[in-house]
Structure 1
Amino acid sequence: MTDRDLYLLDVLAAHRVLTAEQVAALLYPSVDRAQRRLLALTRRGALERFRARVYPGSQAWRYTLSYPAVQLVAARRAERPASRSAHNTTVLRLARSRTLEHQLGVNGFFTSLARDAAARPLTRLANWYSESTVATALQWDHGIREAIRPDGYGRWIEGPRVTTFFIEYDRGTESLERLGGKITGYATYLPGMTVLYHLHSALRETHFHHKLIGAGREGVATTTAELLAASGEGVSGPVWLPAGPGTRRRLRLSELPGSGFALQANEWGAGTAPIPAPHLPEVA
């Protein structure tokens, strides 16, 4: 297996599932190249794939680790792997999970950042940590338990600017009260931390900003799936609308204020494979 293959296994060990489009954004110059490599790895037993039956048309394959890949990742980390039956149950539950599309949305956000970084000099998505990794690191390193549960953590480097952030990925299933209520936890435990809300629609974004009036909103910025689709901008581009009475201009990710806060996940399942390109993140 190549370094790129081993890195992909680390990504899937941390983030569970990817589509071919997401793998291409992360590691390949085209979706076709990614699909061919994913098919080869599946045929060799390194990956498993699944998709739901839809009519008309077909759903894109979702790729996850095979059991031999789980064993390989565990061996490289000097860990004991789950049993084969436990792995099979995990894959079945993942394929049937109500939160699968949410997980893919979060992963798509980070793989899009990696694609943006590849296109720019002196730019890198340095860290990409999962919800479970963040929860563990916050609890053990900072004593924060249930008050904060972001969907992921990233560290974005663009030239001399470093932006660390949490992401809250919204598919329109939670109430605005619940979304806004999360800000209280961030304001209490990590004041000034950049929190990105990727919202479902422009209307939802407008209503969300109204909900934030009077709330502790320092560091909060929003974008929408509609805006990203219509503008063609990447998620690192000028698509982020800061909350509060200041500028109403949308900012680049690198223009958002940095808090100086950083998570270290080396002890919480960080990958062991060599990172195959300088713009790619450490994953955990």
Structure 2
Amino acid sequence: MPTSSPATRLLALYPHLTTRDRALLALLDEHRVLTSDQIMRLQFQAMRTCQIRLRTLLELGVLERFRFARLNGGAEPWHWTLGLAGAQFRAGVTGRPTPTERGHRTHVIRLTASPLLPHLRTTNEFFVRLAHAARIGSAMRLQRWWSERTATAKFLRIRPDGHGLWTAGGRTVGCYLECDMGTEPLTRVLTKLDAYEELVAAGGPRYPVLFWLANAEREAHLQHRLRDIQPAVPVATATHDTDVAGAVWLPADGWRRVALRHLDSDHGPNTASNPNWLNNALDLTDQTGEAGTTFGAEDPADTAETPDAAATARVGTPDNADGAGGVDSAEADADTED
């Protein structure tokens, strides 16, 4: 009896994939891993609805998930990444070679076992908080969220943990994120500023470098060092336990914490070193053309669930209302899914 080809099996999944599902695949392709709670804040109104949909995508082979045990009992949140079918679909979207089952399995194992996984998850948490603030707020938008890989390829001279464009109060501000986990000496942290200064000198954007630090003590030490060296690019600091969309950023040349929209930011001139300019026009989009990868109150992911799904969502699992969940917060599915 003839067996179906990989392409036929993938095509058979298409009727099951919604616009929101495809946006999630694009996010996971770009940012590699997201927890259930992060996905809920990016795309859903209720955790139960999110759990049901993720479970369906898992059964379809579009997503894969993993989690580790906690030291003092219980388990970490589910972490989600592309399954083989999801990776093959994204290869078709982007024009990359189609991954094989063996190659994809190796990729997933390397991701799950990577010592950099906590850093990646925390980096993504920063942008998830901005995206969620834009979803539930007004006159706010996260219109660009580039991973380290994309930002490095676009800007050439720098290697930030992430890059974003944030619009609030009628002003669009760019930023480069340096997500600090407290594992490097501050001397090495400060050397990262050299590349940003070189980018500006070459005609790139003059965006603030955001050092997002593990605790207030480390922030105080870094602020002291920053005021000694007086960097040539804008720098601001905050800690992981803050609402990053709020007035929590302390500029290295100031004494009052401000919101992102109040930081010094310049999109830069029309030069070869500036990816903001395309065809001699300023382009402050995410430059992917894909739906669901920017976030604001009018995004499709914010539309109401179907009545049946909404009713299900209200049973047993409360909404995550505050959207500022901790990096390691255990979401509701920690003990309800096998």
- TM-score, normalising length from structure 2? 0.73
Given the superposition, is the C-alpha separation of residues 128 and 263 from structure 1 closer, same or farther in structure 2, using an over 3 Å criterion? Answer: farther
Describe the superposition over 1:16-69 as per-residue Cα deviations: whole angstroms up to 9, x where unpaired: 000011101111113332222111211121100011133411111110000111
Describe the superposition over 1:176-209 as per-residue Cα deviations: whole angstroms up to 9, x where unpaired: 1111111122123226421111001101011001
Give the drift of 1:275.
2.6
For 1:209, the equivalent position in structure 2 comes to 223
The aligned runs of 1:221-232 (5 Å cut-off) are 221-226=236-241, 228=242
Q: Any conservation in 2 of the 1:137–1:265 contact (CA below 8 Å)? A: no
Given the superposition, is the C-alpha separation of residues 130 and 278 from structure 1 closer, same or farther in structure 2, using an over 3 Å criterion? Answer: closer
The aligned runs of 1:92-241 (5 Å cut-off) are 92-139=109-156, 144=157, 148-190=158-200, 192-212=206-226, 213-226=228-241, 228=242, 234-241=243-250
Is residue 2 from structure 1 mapped to residue 40 from structure 2 by the alignment? Answer: no
Q: Any conservation in 2 of the 1:220–1:242 contact (CA below 8 Å)? A: yes
Q: Any conservation in 1 of the 2:196–2:233 contact (CA below 8 Å)? A: no
Is residue 90 from structure 1 mapped to residue 107 from structure 2 by the alignment? Answer: yes
Measure, in 1, the Cα distance between the counterparts of 2:98 and 2:289: 15
3-state SS in 1 of match to 2:195: helix
Q: Any conservation in 1 of the 2:145–2:294 contact (CA below 8 Å)? A: no
For 1:231, the equivalent position in structure 2 comes to none
Identity %: 34
Q: Any conservation in 2 of the 1:3–1:276 contact (CA below 8 Å)? A: no
Q: Which aligned segments of 4 or more residues in structure 1 are displaced greater than 3 angstroms?
A: 261-266, 269-273
- TM-score, normalising length from structure 1? 0.86
Q: List runs of 5+ in structure 2 lacking aligned partners.
A: 1-16, 269-273, 279-285, 300-338
Give the drift of 1:264.
5.1
3-state SS in 2 of match to 1:190: helix
Measure, in 2, the Cα distance between the counterparts of 1:59 and 1:239: 28
Q: Which protein has the larger Cα radius of gyration, Structure 1 or Structure 2?
A: 2
Give the drift of 1:270.
6.3
3-state SS in 1 of match to 2:192: helix
Measure, in 2, the Cα distance between the counterparts of 1:260 and 1:270: 15
RMSD: 2.2
Given the superposition, is the C-alpha separation of residues 72 and 272 from structure 1 closer, same or farther in structure 2, using an over 3 Å criterion? Answer: farther
Which shows bigger deviation, 176-185 or 26-35?
Answer: 26-35
Q: List runs of 5+ in structure 1 lacking aligned partners.
A: 229-233
Given the superposition, is the C-alpha separation of residues 138 and 30 from structure 1 closer, same or farther in structure 2, using an over 3 Å criterion? Answer: same
Q: Any conservation in 1 of the 2:267–2:276 contact (CA below 8 Å)? A: no
